[in-house]
Chain A
Amino acid sequence: MADHVLTKEDLENLFRDITEEITGFSPDGKKGQIRFGYPEEGQPGFERNDDTVCIVVSPVDNPYDKQRNTFENTDVEFAPDCNVETTYTRVFQVAWMVFGPNSYDITDKLKCELLWETALNTMDEMAVAPLTEIEGPAYMPFNFQGRWWERTDLRALFNVGTQRDHTVGFIETVDVLIYTDQGLQRTVHAPTDQPLAGAANAIASVTGNLQIEEP
């Protein structure tokens, strides 16, 4: 298997698509009803009565991120090396900052439908899974230019399956040197998949009766 590492942009696109599916809003056009936070050059704002969703994806520290599962793959396709597959789970927080008169209703809908099959299947295709205990929406209106603007925030955590591969050198054979009291010496090139069998055959051929037990 090759590396499977979703970039931050991959995750942003994933949750943009899921948000579009749930809310019916469009991330295209003049209004940009679904958009991302912290654009480098800024982006046009919106009016108080425009329902707008701003998505921010950020990594978070989580105990689940500490475990590493390592598998050493010695299949012939990687010969003469060994392919080491390291799999682990990254945890990301997705924050939806929703503005507009329907902000609470939109976040409530998101909170529910993130756990429906459609969204779950979309996430599953990219090895992403939600932590199902999602916090309730946080209603936080703010004052701007003499008016109160509606805003509701929703946050959720997601496990993101990740795999990174690297190769290590692989010992193919081991030379076994056999000495007797007569000073005889034989060199056995024992393959590492059957080291003891090769060495045992060599010793038996020299001594005639010495046996080695397989572990």
Chain B
Amino acid sequence: MPRLDISEVINDPDFCSDFIVHRTTGTFVGGRFTPTTTPLPVTGIIEPHDEKEIVQLPPGDSIQGSIDIYTHKQLNTTILAKETWEPDRLSDEVEWHGYRYKVINSLPWGDFGYYRSLAVRKFGA
């Protein structure tokens, strides 16, 4: 087990901020996944992963962008529930500066006291 633990940096007021994580669970109804979303207040560090980029498509411009999120607890991607090993949840969504970002990658650096997630801007425009 590594001895380096940098979890206290996640809560350092010089770096951290408060934001909302929208956690989604659900079940299938008639073949369609029916989600239930719960907002959770979380403290962590958010920083841009890459720049806002415009993609010019025939029907119109779309905007891409992504962020890195550092937290004490791992954010969900679509995942099996550990209790039942059944899939019952979708990726978390993070609300930051008025936009929603969907978590697509969650790296388990828990042995060092933190988790790092990558989230992409949800709306195209």
For window 31-61 of A, CB contacts with B under 8 Å fall at 31-32, 34-36, 39, 41-47, 55
Contact of A44 among B29, B30, B31, B78 (CB under 8 A): B78
Contact A31–B86 (Cβ < 8 Å): yes
User: CB within 8 Å of A: which of B17-52?
Assistant: 27-33, 35
The contact of B28 among A12, A31, A45, A55, by CB within 8 Å, is: A31
Return B17 CB to nearest CB of chain A, in Å: 26
Which chain B residues border A29 with CB–CB below 8 Å? 27-28
Q: Is A74 at the interface (CB under 8 A from chain B)?
A: no
User: Across the A-B interface, how many residue pairs have beta carbons closer than 8 Å?
Assistant: 60
Q: How large is the interface on B (under 10, 10 to 19, 20 to 34, 35 or more residues)?
A: 10 to 19
Chain A residues bordering chain B, tally (CB within 8 A): 21
Task: Find out whether the CB atom of A41 lies under 8 angstroms from the CB atom of B90.
Answer: yes
| Contact of B89 with A by CB under 8 A | yes
If A30-B84, A32-B28, A35-B28 touch, whether A45 touches B78 (CB-CB below 8 Å) is yes
CA distance A46 to B33 in the complex (A): 13
When distances are taken between beta carbons in the complex, the residues of chain A under 8 Å from B90 are: 41-44
Contacts of A42 in B (CB 8 A): 78, 90-91
Q: Do B31 and A27 touch (CB < 8 A)?
A: yes
From B31, B35, B84, B87, contact of A34 by CB (8 A): B31
- Give residues in A with beta carbon < 8 Å to B: 12-13, 16, 27-32, 34-36, 39, 41-47, 55
22 A-B pairs (CB sep. < 8 Å): A13-B30, A16-B30, A27-B30, A27-B31, A28-B29, A29-B27, A31-B28, A31-B86, A32-B27, A32-B33, A35-B28, A35-B32, A35-B33, A36-B31, A36-B32, A41-B35, A42-B78, A42-B91, A44-B79, A44-B87, A44-B89, A47-B80
Given contacts A42-B78, A55-B31, 17 further A-B contacts (CB under 8 A): A27-B29, A28-B27, A28-B29, A31-B28, A32-B31, A36-B31, A39-B32, A39-B33, A42-B91, A43-B78, A44-B33, A44-B78, A44-B88, A45-B78, A46-B87, A47-B80, A47-B85
